[in-house]
Amino acid sequence: MQGGSCRVTIEPPNLFVTPQSGPSLSIDLGDIDLLVPGDYQLSLTLYTGKILVLTKFAKVFQNLSADLLQTYRDRLVRCLLLEDLEEIERFEGYVDVDASDANFSSPAELRLYQSNLAILPEKAVVFQWRLADIDGIEFDDAAYRLIILSGSSRLTVTKLAKRTGEFVERLRSAVDAVSENTSAIVRSLCPFLSPDQVLETSRLMREGRAAAFSKLSRVHPGIEQSLIANGIDRSLKPYFEVLKQKMFGSEWFAGFKMVRPETDSEAEPGPDEPVVDSSPAVAAERSMPVAKKSEGSEKERSILYWFFFPLRGATGGEIPNVIAWESTSLSGHATFFFKTPTVYSSGDVHDNTTYLEYAVRQLNQALVTLNFRREPVYLSDVSLQTEARYHQYAIACRKISALRELRASYLGRAIHASVDVWQKQVEAILNKREASG
């Protein structure tokens, strides 16, 4: 569209390019899909498809390139909703990605967190893997490369130079720590399990992954009651009981995740979405401080427990067409409701279990990817697009397909103001689902 001499200013989260004449170009660094350094040239591809090329910066180019790449990556991490995770270390290397939603090779920075691995490539869109989802870590001595496996996806890391050994050791240690924490939580929840049963339960109920009670009960019938007894705050038990009574069929799901206490603050209801009941009780709930558990150790207070309940619309039906998500520890102040995927709703009713597991797996993966932030789920499109404080969520929607799908399936939330007020909201949501078909 234009070219010529300019001044470049980096003021996170923005990049300003000011020509000698005419208006300045302002770019949110999160709106850059690709930032590719070249031979004294930087190529920035925006999400709109436009490309900005910065060149002829002479002696200051190296500093410009390094500073811009660093602030760009920091912005991406924020837009991936990873900023509040505890970072372990950063590494520069080269990645080959073979996954269902990505296939590329590129130089990349790898940021290792206690629960996630973020891959920030130069020639592809940034993405992340949860450490709990890593199935294998293999090091090829001959080729000096590390192969990381997760399901059918494969990530190969090379060109770490002298830091290869450090990356392998730190990654394995972080993955082992997640696994050990899972086993410790399972053992604490269910002390009656044998070592073999702890192993099988930990496999089914990995940290951050909801498991079906039908499968957990086959390991030991006491797991269900133990999760109910130990994973639900006393103040949230009445809401749990109502959802349990409304549940369609006998299959339901539970999960847990270690979280930093401050990451759960977004359980607070926000002003964006109107609630069904505007009574003083609801208004009071909106101003409630984040509650802490009155019982248990600090470690126990940092565990988030949740349940998925399959439900039917208000007029019934042969299959569940709503899934309720209830967090039952820390500061859970609302129940969230989602539509089941179309593939489930239109499926063979005799194969409900398979479709139900698929639906819950998709919802659970999206919520974990968001690190259980609620605002990106319930805020309206208008708020995401027009309010500056939520712009990172708008960028996240573009970059995280699971978030787009989650927002598309979102039906509403019922606030935990009182059981009576909450039930009215639940019925309104189920009626809305029935009306929408």
Range of weakest confidence among 39-43, 191-195, 203-207, 345-349: 345-349
Please say if the pLDDT value at position 88 is more than 90.
yes
Per-residue confidence (pLDDT) for residue 39, from 0 to 100: 87
Instruction: Give mean pLDDT, residues 4-14.
Output: 94
373-418 pLDDT, tens digit per residue, is: 899 999 999 999 999 999 999 999 998 888 999 999 999 999 998 9
Q: Comparing C-alpha atoms, which of 179, 361, 359, 374 is closest to residue 258?
A: 179
Are the folds of 6-78 and 84-178 the same? Answer: yes
Tokens of 29: 């660094």
Please say if the pLDDT value at position 209 is more than 90.
yes
Q: Which residue has the higher pLDDT, 373 or 336?
A: 336
Please say if the pLDDT value at position 259 is more than 60.
yes
Instruction: Give mean pLDDT, residues 67-92.
Output: 92
Please say if the pLDDT value at position 358 is more than 70.
yes
Under DSSP, is residue 81 helix (H, G, I), strand (E, B) or coil? coil
Per-residue confidence (pLDDT) for residue 249, from 0 to 100: 85
**Which CATH code is given to the segment(s) 84-178?**
2.30.29.30
Q: Which residue has the higher pLDDT, 290 or 253?
A: 253
Per-residue confidence (pLDDT) for residue 350, from 0 to 100: 43
Going from the C-alpha of 432 to that of each of 243, 273, 413, the distances in angstroms are: 17, 15, 12
The letter for the amino acid at 187 is R
Reply yes or no: is the peptide bond before residue 13 cis, omega within 30 of 0. Answer: yes
Please say if the pLDDT value at position 229 is more than 90.
yes
The letter for the amino acid at 51 is I
Per-residue confidence (pLDDT) for residue 52, from 0 to 100: 95
Q: Give the pLDDT band (50/70/90) at residue 265.
A: very low
37-46 pLDDT, tens digit per residue, is: 888 999 999 9
Question: pTM (2 decimals)?
Answer: 0.84
Please say if the pLDDT value at position 369 is more than 50.
yes
Distance of CA 289 to the CA centre of its chain: 24
Per-residue confidence (pLDDT) for residue 203, from 0 to 100: 95
Tokens of 139: 């090091």
Q: Which residues does residue 127 pair with via DSSP β-bridges, in sequence order? A: 119
Under DSSP, is residue 240 helix (H, G, I), strand (E, B) or coil? helix
- Mention every residue, 6+ apart, whose C-beta is less than 8 A from residue 236: 326, 328, 329, 332, 416
Tokens of 181: 């924490």
Per-residue confidence (pLDDT) for residue 434, from 0 to 100: 60
Per-residue confidence (pLDDT) for residue 292, from 0 to 100: 34
Per-residue confidence (pLDDT) for residue 331, from 0 to 100: 60
Instruction: Give mean pLDDT, residues 216-220.
Output: 97
Q: Which residues does residue 153 pair with via DSSP β-bridges, in sequence order? A: 150
Instruction: Give mean pLDDT, residues 202-221.
Output: 95
Please say if the pLDDT value at position 349 is more than 50.
no
Tokens of 317: 């039906």
Instruction: Give mean pLDDT, residues 345-358.
Output: 62
**For 352, how many CA atoms within 13 A lie in the half-sphere containing its CB?**
14
Q: Which residue has the higher pLDDT, 388 or 354?
A: 388
- Mention every residue, 6+ apart, whose C-beta is less than 8 A from residue 415: 269, 275, 282, 285, 286, 333, 334, 421, 422, 425
**Which CATH code is given to the segment(s) 6-78?**
2.30.29.30
Per-residue confidence (pLDDT) for residue 204, from 0 to 100: 95
- Mention every residue, 6+ apart, whose C-beta is less than 8 A from residue 337: 311, 322, 323, 324, 325, 410, 411, 412, 413, 414, 426, 429, 430, 433
Per-residue confidence (pLDDT) for residue 318, from 0 to 100: 63
The whole-angstrom separation of Cα 82 and Cα 110 is 13
Please say if the pLDDT value at position 269 is more than 50.
no
Domain positions in the chain are 6-78, 84-178, 191-436
Under DSSP, is residue 317 helix (H, G, I), strand (E, B) or coil? coil
The whole-angstrom separation of Cα 58 and Cα 6 is 13
Q: Which residue has the higher pLDDT, 333 or 28?
A: 28
Q: Which residues does residue 16 pair with via DSSP β-bridges, in sequence order? A: 9, 26
Q: Which residues does residue 54 pair with via DSSP β-bridges, in sequence order? A: 42
Mean pLDDT score across all residues of the chain:
85
Going from the C-alpha of 173 to that of each of 136, 137, 168, 199, 303, the distances in angstroms are: 13, 11, 8, 19, 21
Q: Give the pLDDT band (50/70/90) at residue 125.
A: confident
